[in-house]
């Protein structure tokens, strides 16, 4: 694999790039490039991005009735059922992840809510992964090879062994470059193995999910009109934490893919 090589237009076919002129491949730029190359899978990606917004609005209307009912019927069975429901709703891109993470934290408390939310998000990612792989059937993978830079990133993510693959998937979850459902689609299409994908998703989703769950566990009422000062302050603090984690993860992801690119 040639580092720093980019596809040239016909008029530039004879030109030689100066050594070191191009930076190592960027994971976020290649993820955006892959989104553009989705082809027949484009409508599926659009649904995965847009449908959770609609579902979130619908769920918001029932949240004040659903939350107290679940809290009044808390039990291990309810926790397992909530995790399964989260997996199905998010896995089929019906609602956004943060909405159900807030609900889990408020109903079950900080630690049980975190376990329920992480289990649900991991199950949702797995459902989305296999659904995407069944629909796309490698369409995106065939086009990734056209770009040496993006191929270097793909190989860094997927061909460095299961532990490193899971680590990179975890970084992608920490520093989301594209929405949750679209990331499932891209990883399935690019050929990521399901085991490191699921493990990386579980570990990578913990910090952001914990920030949201712990915030919602402190709310007296599941009503954002109550205690506006507390809600606004908690949202600001949670946003700062998530952004800092994402920034650190994005830098780490860049370093990992640069190292792999330099080895090719």
Question: What pLDDT shows up at residue 182?
Answer: 76
88 secondary structure, DSSP code: H
What pLDDT digit, counting tens, does each position of 174-224 carry? 876 667 887 888 788 777 889 999 999 999 999 889 988 998 888 877 766
Answer with the residue of higher pLDDT: 243 or 75: 75
Question: What pLDDT shows up at residue 181?
Answer: 82
- Cα–Cα distance measured from residue 105 to residue 108, given in angstroms and rounded to the nearest whole number: 6
- Cα–Cα distance measured from residue 125 to residue 250, given in angstroms and rounded to the nearest whole number: 20
What pLDDT digit, counting tens, does each position of 42-78 carry? 666 666 667 787 777 778 778 778 888 998 999 999 9
Question: What pLDDT shows up at residue 150?
Answer: 59
Q: How far is CA 242 from CA 213, 219, 245, in A?
A: 12, 19, 5
The residue assigned the tokens 């793909």 is: 154
Cα 130-134-140 angle, rounded to 5 deg:
100
DSSP 125-193: HHHHHHHHHHHHTTHHHHHHTT-HHHHHHHHHHHSS-HHHHHHHHHHHHHS-SS-HHHHHHHHHHHT--
Question: What pLDDT shows up at residue 82?
Answer: 93
Is the confidence at residue 166, as pLDDT, over 80?
yes
Question: What pLDDT shows up at residue 21?
Answer: 38
Mean pLDDT of the chain: 74
- Cα–Cα distance measured from residue 93 to residue 252, given in angstroms and rounded to the nearest whole number: 28
Say whether pTM exceeds 0.85: no
Is the confidence at residue 14, as pLDDT, over 70?
no
């Amino acid at each position: 694999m040639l580092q720093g090589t980019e596809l040239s237009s016909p008029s530039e076919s004879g030109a030689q790039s100066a050594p070191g002129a191009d930076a190592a491949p960027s994971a976020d730029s290649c993820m955006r490039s892959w989104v553009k190359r989705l082809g027949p899978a484009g409508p599926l990606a659009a649904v995965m991005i847009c449908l959770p917004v609609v579902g979130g609005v619908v769920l918001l209307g029932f949240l004040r009735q659903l939350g107290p009912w679940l809290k009044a019927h808390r039990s291990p069975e309810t926790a397992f059922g909530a995790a399964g429901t989260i997996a199905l709703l998010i896995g089929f891109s019906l609602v956004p992840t943060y909405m159900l993470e807030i609900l889990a934290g408020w109903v079950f408390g900080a630690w049980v809510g975190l376990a329920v939310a992480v289990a649900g998000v991991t199950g949702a990612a797995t459902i989305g992964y296999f659904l995407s792989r069944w629909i796309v059937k490698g369409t995106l993978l065939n086009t990734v090879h056209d770009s040496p830079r993006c191929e270097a990133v793909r190989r860094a993510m997927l061909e460095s062994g299961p532990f490193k693959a899971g680590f990179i998937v975890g970084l992608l979850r920490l520093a989301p470059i594209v929405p949750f459902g679209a990331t499932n689609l891209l990883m399935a299409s690019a050929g990521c193995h399901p085991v490191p994908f699921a493990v990386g998703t579980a570990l990578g989703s913990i910090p952001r999910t914990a920030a949201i769950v712990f915030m919602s566990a402190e709310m007296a009422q599941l009503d954002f009109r109550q205690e506006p000062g507390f809600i606004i302050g908690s949202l600001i603090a949670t946003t700062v934490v998530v952004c800092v984690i994402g920034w650190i993860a994005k830098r780490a992801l860049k370093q990992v893919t640069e190292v792999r690119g330099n080895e090719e």
